């Protein structure tokens, strides 16, 4: 177990820095680990390896990992209310039957493009699926800008484009009153907010709630805690930052022993553990030797806050 420390005052007062621990729990390295989701009923962590083209389930009780191959890049996976999962594979949204490993097409996005893929996705408080796209990476990791979009998928599987001209569609979250949608387009180096209309799921009044500081890297995936504060994974920043979206103040920093931190979610028996995914793709040999845990998934304990249960897609 490796211990790292918070260096900011939290919303509940000063965190006991010596109590914050960071432990590598999923030691199978991912090329691009992403999209962690805690399954409360099974005490399992669901996440994807985008470039590895796999969906993983790690059991916190048995420490075993099960995997399903997707045959193409997989940007996200979420539970489905009717059973199984829904995943974003390539530009398709698929139903996934875990036991049979069968995948059934439900919808498709970016039908007017061939150079994009689905990236981050999450279920809103009303059971809709929101999922975004980005241009496919070149062999050197470059992407064509402004090729992505953000979509909403309703229970009848109707697809609505909410945003276009997106660079890298990433973190998605909602405020406790469900009226504000938080969103990350990574290359903008900001966390943005929109007014969110519950009935239609429409967006309005875009504004910046946090701007990344030098050394923090790119904002990637994020989650909320029970106080409505955001936890943002910092790609190439080696950390997760805890921010208050109402004030724009950074409350706390959690350092990780890897630079390419990709996403996070709360889980564990009482949702007080923060699970953090990471990537190894793009590191050179020197960087890999300095970061032997790159691509692993980590569990952070002692933060003094709790998260909320994951939501299931109703389609």
Mean pLDDT (whole number) for 165-178: 98
Is it the case that residue 186 has pLDDT exceeding 60?
yes
What is the per-residue pLDDT for 139? 81
What is the per-residue pLDDT for 9? 37
What is the per-residue pLDDT for 17? 52
Residue 119 labeled ligand binder: yes
Annotated catalytic residue 177: no
Residue in the block written with tokens 């900011």: 8
What's the predicted TM-score (pTM) here? Answer: 0.94
- Report which of 165, 163, 297, 291 is spatially closest to residue 221, judged by C-alpha positions: 297
What is the pLDDT confidence band of residue 198, given thresholds at 50, 70 and 90? Answer: very high
Composition of the chain by helix, strand, coil, percent to 5: 5, 55, 45
**The one catalytic residue among 49, 124, 185, 220:** 220
pLDDT digits (tens, 9 = 90+) for 265-310: 999 999 999 999 999 999 999 999 999 999 999 999 999 999 999 9
- Report which of 256, 289, 276, 280 is spatially closest to residue 52, judged by C-alpha positions: 280
- Report which of 154, 89, 157 is spatially closest to residue 124, judged by C-alpha positions: 154
What is the per-residue pLDDT for 1? 38
Mean pLDDT (whole number) for 48-67: 97
Is it the case that residue 3 has pLDDT exceeding 50?
no
- 213: tokens are 């500081």
Residue 34 labeled ligand binder: yes
Q: What is the mean pLDDT of the chain?
A: 94
Is it the case that residue 225 has pLDDT exceeding 60?
yes
What is the per-residue pLDDT for 140? 78
Q: Give 272's strand partners.
A: none
What is the per-residue pLDDT for 141? 78
What domains does the chain contain, in order, with CATH numbers?
21-301 (2.120.10.30)
- Report which of 168, 153, 164, 139 is spatially closest to residue 262, judged by C-alpha positions: 168
What is the per-residue pLDDT for 221? 98
pLDDT digits (tens, 9 = 90+) for 63-95: 999 999 999 999 999 999 999 999 999 999 999
Residue in the block written with tokens 């390419």: 260
pLDDT digits (tens, 9 = 90+) for 258-267: 999 999 999 9
What is the pLDDT confidence band of residue 4, given thresholds at 50, 70 and 90? Answer: very low
> Which residues lie closer than 8 Å to 198 by C-beta, 6 or more apart?
125, 126, 178, 179
8-state DSSP, 129? E
pLDDT digits (tens, 9 = 90+) for 6-33: 444 333 334 455 689 999 999 989 999 9
CA dihedral 134→35→121→233, nearest 10 degrees, is -70
Burial of 248-278, coded b for 16+ CB within 10 Å and e otherwise, reads eebbbbbbbbbbbbbbbbbbbeebbbbbbbb
Phi, psi for residue 50 in degrees, rounded to 5: -60, -60
């Amino acid at each position: 177990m490796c211990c790292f420390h918070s260096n900011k005052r939290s919303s509940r007062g000063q965190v006991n820095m010596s109590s914050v621990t960071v432990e590598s729990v999923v030691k199978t390295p991912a090329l691009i680990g992403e999209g962690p989701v805690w399954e409360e009923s099974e005490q399992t962590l669901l996440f994807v390896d985008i470039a590895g083209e796999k969906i993983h389930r790690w059991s916190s009780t048995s420490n075993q990992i099960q995997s399903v191959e997707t045959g193409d890049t997989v940007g996200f996976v979420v539970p489905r209310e009717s059973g199984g999962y829904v995943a974003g594979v390539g530009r398709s949204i698929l139903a996934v039957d875990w036991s049979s490993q069968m995948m059934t097409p439900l919808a498709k996005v970016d039908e007017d493009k061939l150079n994009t893929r689905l990236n981050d996705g999450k279920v809103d408080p009303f059971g809709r699926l929101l999922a975004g796209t980005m241009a496919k990476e070149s062999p050197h990791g470059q992407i064509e800008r402004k090729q992505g979009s953000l979509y909403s998928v309703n229970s009848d599987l109707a697809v609505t484009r909410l945003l276009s001209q997106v660079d890298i569609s990433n973190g998605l979250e909602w405020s406790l009153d469900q009226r504000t949608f938080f969103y990350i387009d990574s290359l903008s180096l900001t966390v943005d907010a929109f007014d969110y209309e519950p009935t239609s799921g429409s967006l309005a009044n875009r504004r910046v709630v946090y701007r990344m500081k030098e050394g923090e890297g790119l904002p990637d995936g994020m989650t909320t805690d029970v106080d409505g504060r955001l936890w943002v994974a910092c790609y190439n920043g080696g950390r997760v930052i805890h921010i208050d979206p109402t004030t724009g103040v950074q409350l706390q920093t959690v350092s990780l022993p890897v630079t390419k931190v990709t996403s996070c979610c709360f889980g564990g028996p009482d949702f007080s553990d923060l699970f953090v995914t990471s990537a190894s793709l793009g590191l050179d040999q020197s960087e890999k030797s300095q970061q032997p845990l790159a691509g692993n998934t980590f569990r952070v304990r002692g933060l003094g806050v709790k998260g909320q249960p994951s939501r299931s897609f109703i389609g």
